[in-house]
Chain A
Amino acid sequence: MRFLSYLMSGLGLGSVYAIIALGYTMVYGIAKMLNFAHGDIIMIGAYVSFFALTRFGLPVLAAVPAAMAVCTVLGVLIERMAYKPLRQATSLSVLITAIGVSYFLQNAAQILWSSSTKVFPAVISNGALQLGELSISYLTLVTILTCVVVMVCLTLFINHTKTGSAMRACAEDKGAAMLMGINVNRIISLTFAIGSALAAIAAILLCASYPQVFPTLGSMPGIKAFTAAVFGGIGSIPGAFVGGLLLGIIEILSRAYISTQLSDAIVFGVLVVVLLIKPTGILGRKLSEKV
């Protein structure tokens, strides 16, 4: 029973990672860039929902769309201003720009809202669902459910709508997609919009379980989720889902059974081992090198 309850909280944490990882993986799949500023979008989402809940006294169901809207606008704005001019640049230049954006967001947050930690209000009641001996907190349930809903909606969107197939086409071959009359720039913006909106959802779920808001809040979950995306095979949407869940489970189980202090080393160690066995992640596509 103990094990099952650890597994459930691992799934809960993993669901948050999975939602963040989706943002990384979609942007990588389509824009072929590592968006290091993604973690900081989560931070902005956390602050926006914090103020929506406390200063404006909005209910949770109104705070979520508010945070999503702000993050979406911010994500698209960043893409237009900082990344779009670099479409032809080397991937390292784009990486450094993303790091610059990340510094910018963190320091802007520090100036606007000070570096002191703010306590996030409780958004989901503390109760738990009893299934025999197993008790699952409502928070874990809501987190897992949200992740599943997000995943299903996203899969349906990607596979069964016109825009979704345009996105897949862009991921496959940007030049060919352009020749087919797809507005590639619009698709890339849309990808950033979706990724950022998901980051806002992740922000609220994250703050519901770890109720602290501070300017560097996004960096560690960002790195972990990024690891999850690579773990599952970067660029693959089901990969991000699987990778996120697995990472969450590994983290919670190693904390529970091996060592709290060493959990980070174990998580990253597993990543190294997985990449050595499958160099492109669990569900990643094989890379072929052309002569």
Chain B
Amino acid sequence: MTKKKNLFQILVDDRHRARTISYTMVIAAYIIVEAMLRSGNLSNLFINLLVPVTCYMVAAIGLNLNVGVSGELNLGQAGFMAIGAFSGICLSGFFADTIPAVPRLMLAILFGALLTALMGFLIGIPVLKLQGDYLAIVTLAFGEIVKNLIMNLYVGFDRTGLKVSFVQQTFTLEEGGRILLNGPMGSTSTQKISTFTAGMILVIIALAIVYNLLYSRHGRAIMAARDNRIAAESVGISVSRTKMLAFVVSASLAGAAGVLYGLNYSTLIVSKFDFNTSILILVYVVLGGLGNINGTLIATVILFLLPEMLRSLQAYRMLIYAVILILIMLITNNQSLRAGLQSLRNRGKKDE
């Protein structure tokens, strides 16, 4: 048992298998897409989807930590994305002339992630006092509140510095000044600095953070608190602290994803991050399998691209999407099908 393992054995080890598969998948996907981009084999439609899909992947990885691993339903992930997106847009706009694009993007993502982590912590204090469906509703409420507040935020800057006002634009900008956030109109004339490569790097970073957390002492504590709150408390795990950890990491990943998303469009309105977006990300997580990061990655890519692939069906595409969603749920929860699969699996094990 104590035989020294070589690197290959470590990589295919059960505990690390999921992690290895994740990294391999992401890197392989990156190489394939890059190669197709270079050879010009991708349609414009598809190229425009590359950055958003990485954003949703990062947000979904984060949400899986919250919903799958920590077991708390979160219906407000889009709210955190909104915080990230618009803080990133403001930062990037403010430094547009002073910092070149790549370090500016990195700085914006870092800033957005830290700010959302802080917001996640502040929101988490009241939210995590609640349980079950009530917790879900409060996250929904916070998502709506964030959306509503940002919708009323006006940010601009000129030579004299940054100017912020609420509900109405009360400041006037000197010549050469720029408005960064224009209330309900959202951001206008943002420099598009997000790239697919940056998105993929962010996915890798998100994976590294989540996997390292999962396989650490804290990760096991989070799962213990999910499986049995009282038992976890009785062995000395601070349930509120572990839940908070999962919530904050999840929020800050959504924030980083939001920054990337926000800096990918020259104009962006806040309503993009409404309840439906939160639900969309939740669908990726649930269909991919709760707690299963690889499942999340695959489900996000497939479900994000599905409506686009169904584009030839025009008006019917979202209808078909909805039917597929319902059917997947009905089939995966079918009792007799499940029993059949289970017996097949058992037979397979016996043969081994």
Interface, chain A (partner B; CB < 8 A): 28, 34, 36, 82, 85-86, 88-89, 92-93, 95-97, 99-101, 103-104, 106-108, 110-111, 219, 223, 226-227, 230, 234, 259, 261-262, 264-265, 268-269, 271-272, 275-276, 279-281, 287, 289, 291
Contacts and interface: CB of A to CB of B under 8 A. Distances in A.
29 contacts: A34-B136, A82-B326, A82-B330, A85-B334, A93-B286, A93-B329, A93-B332, A96-B282, A96-B283, A97-B329, A100-B325, A103-B321, A103-B322, A103-B325, A104-B322, A104-B323, A106-B318, A107-B318, A111-B315, A230-B134, A234-B133, A262-B148, A264-B145, A271-B138, A275-B130, A275-B134, A279-B130, A287-B132, A291-B230
Interface of B: 67, 73, 126, 129-134, 136-138, 140-142, 144-145, 148-149, 151-152, 167, 184, 229-230, 275-276, 279, 282-283, 286-287, 290, 315-316, 318-319, 321-323, 325-326, 329-330, 332-335
3 pairs of A and B residues whose beta carbons are closest in the complex: A100-B325, A103-B322, A104-B322
A140 B264 CA distance: 47
Contacts of A271: 137-138, 141
B130 A86 contact: no
Given A93-B329, A100-B325, A227 B137 contact: yes
Contacts of A268: 141-142, 144-145, 148
Contacts of B148: 261-262, 264-265, 268
Given A88-B335, A96-B286, A275 B138 contact: yes
A279 B134 contact: yes
Contacts of A275: 130, 134, 137-138
B108 to A, nearest CB: 26
Given A93-B332, A97-B326, A100-B329, A223 B140 contact: yes
Contacts of B322: 100-101, 103-104, 107
Tell me what chain A mostly uses at the interface: helix, strand, loop, or mixed.
helix
B134 A88 contact: no
Nearest to B123: A272
Contact of B319 (A99, A108, A227, A291): A108
B166 to A, nearest CB: 9
B79 to A, nearest CB: 11
Contacts of B73: 92, 95
Contacts of B145: 264-265, 268-269, 272
Contacts of A269: 141, 145
A288 to B, nearest CB: 11
A277 to B, nearest CB: 11
B144 A289 contact: no
Nearest to A224: B144
Contact of A103 (B133, B318, B335): B318
A35 B277 CA distance: 18
A156 to B, nearest CB: 28
B317 to A, nearest CB: 9
Contacts of B230: 289, 291
A96 B325 contact: yes
Nearest to B333: A89
Nearest to A34: B133
A226 B124 CA distance: 22
A281 B132 CA distance: 13
A271 B145 CA distance: 11
B304 to A, nearest CB: 15
